[in-house]
């Protein structure tokens, strides 16, 4: 459902600050896949996600989402295929609004506005059911202000909001950043729960290797904009190129 074919992107081309961010990068995800991308600073992870979202156009190559070539489409036209969760959960939520209000905004995004008042009973029951499946007790706190939730709870809510319109691909950009071990454990459970609910393909970027090894099914390793390894956790841990470029090891 995602095909990136030979994507190349160079920033500040022709200047002393020229930097190749992506170097003929190819990556494929099928429906329901869960792929984690790791790499050191400057490896091209965020640049890759921005390429998928349409934040900028690649210099070369093509990108397909759900069989549609979106390489030349602007960001807002690609949004219907995508859900995105950032490091900071408050980027995807409104702290001063209630849980159910945030969910309603996410569900109605892109729809024509009407004079219909408030949140209907059926919508509220649907939100309660979806929250219950996350296993965090948020289904009994629909009128709680989002700003009072823990980091793990806020990120769980953000994940749910990102999937309400049933995207084909969910992009997670270091969602465990700044979380304590308990919150990280909750987030792992939530990601799997959301995937089971919606059957969405997931592309995760993450630095926390304990988190990655505890959640991943397949890992792709980037280095200077190129894929240097793919495989499961054990394969990646034992790959000499990965050890040298990212994981580190004894001389």
Using pLDDT thresholds of 50, 70 and 90, give the confidence band for residue 115.
very low
- Using the predicted structure, report yes or no on whether residue 113 has a pLDDT greater than 60: no
The DSSP annotation for the chain comes to -EEEEEEEEEESTTSTT-EEEEEEEEEEE-TT-EEEEE--TTSSHHHHHHHHHTSS--SEEEEEETTEE-TT--HHHHGGGEEEE-SSGGGSS-TTSBHHHHHHHHHTTTSPP-S--S--HHHHHHHHHHHHHHTSSGGG-TTSBGGGS-HHHHHHHHHHHHHTT--SEEEEESTTTT--HHHHHHHHHHHHHHHHHH--EEEEE---HHHHHHH-SEEEEEETTEEEEEE-HHHHHT-HHHIIIII----
Rounded Cα gap, residues 98 and 128, in angstroms = 13
pLDDT at 251 over 70: no
User: Once rounded to an integer, what is the mean pLDDT over residues 4-17?
Assistant: 95
Note the pLDDT of residue 217. Answer: 83
Q: What is the pLDDT of residues 24-45, one digit of tens each?
A: 999 999 998 999 999 888 899 9
pLDDT tier, 248 (very low <50, low <70, confident <90, very high otherwise) = low
22 vs 226: CA distance, rounded Å? 6
Contacts of 220 (CB under 8 A, 6+ apart): 27, 35, 36, 37, 38, 227, 229, 230
CA distance 20 to 58: 11
Taking the C-alpha atoms of residue 122 and residue 95, their distance in angstroms, rounded to an integer, is 24
144-147 long-range CB contacts below 8 Å, 24 or more apart?
A: 144/98, 144/99, 145/95, 145/96, 145/97, 145/98, 146/93, 146/94, 146/95, 146/96, 146/97, 146/98, 146/99, 146/102, 147/90, 147/95, 147/96
- 197 falls in which pLDDT band (50, 70, 90)? confident
Of residues 115 and 236, the one with the higher pLDDT is 236
pLDDT at 250 over 50: no
**pLDDT for res 247:** 62
Determine the average pLDDT of the residues in 51-73: 94
What pLDDT was estimated at residue 151? 85
For residue range 203-213, what is the model confidence (pLDDT) as tens digits? 999 877 788 88
Which residues neighbour 49 within 8 Å (Cβ) at sequence distance 6 or greater? 84, 171, 173, 203, 205
pLDDT at 228 over 70: yes
* Mean residue pLDDT across the chain: 89
Instruction: Please give the pLDDT value at position 161.
Output: 93
In this prediction, residues 156-168 reach a mean pLDDT of 91
Whether the predicted pLDDT of 139 surpasses 90: yes
Q: Residue 194's pLDDT is what?
A: 86
pLDDT grade, residue 110 (50/70/90)? low
Nearest of 95, 116, 202 to residue 159 by alpha carbon: 202
**CA-closest candidate to residue 167, choices 80, 70, 54, 78:** 80
């Amino acid at each position: 459902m995602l095909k990136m074919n030979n994507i190349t992107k160079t920033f500040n081309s022709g200047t002393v600050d020229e930097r190749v961010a992506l170097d003929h990068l190819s990556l494929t995800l099928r429906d329901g896949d869960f792929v984690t991308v790791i790499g050191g600073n400057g490896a091209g992870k965020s640049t890759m996600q921005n390429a998928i979202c349409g934040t900028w156009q690649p210099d070369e190559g093509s990108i397909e989402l759900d069989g549609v070539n979106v390489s030349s489409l602007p960001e807002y036209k690609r949004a219907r295929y995508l859900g995105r969760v950032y490091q900071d959960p408050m980027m995807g939520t409104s702290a001063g609004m209630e849980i159910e209000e945030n969910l309603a905004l996410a569900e109605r995004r892109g729809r024509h506005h009407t004079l219909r008042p408030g949140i209907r009973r059926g919508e509220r029951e649907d939100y309660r059911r979806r929250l219950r499946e996350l296993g965090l007790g948020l289904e009994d706190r629909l009128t709680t202000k989002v700003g009072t939730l823990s980091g793990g709870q806020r990120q769980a809510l953000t994940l749910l909001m990102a999937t309400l319109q049933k995207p084909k691909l969910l992009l997670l950009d270091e969602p465990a950043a700044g979380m304590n071990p308990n919150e990280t454990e909750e987030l792992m459970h939530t990601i799997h729960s959301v995937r089971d609910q919606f059957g969405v393909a997931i592309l995760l970027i993450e630095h926390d290797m304990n988190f990655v090894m505890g959640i991943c099914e397949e890992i792709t390793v980037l280095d200077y904009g190129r894929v240097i390894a793919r495989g499961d956790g054990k394969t990646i841990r034992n790959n000499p190129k990965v050890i040298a470029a990212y994981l580190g090891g004894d001389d």
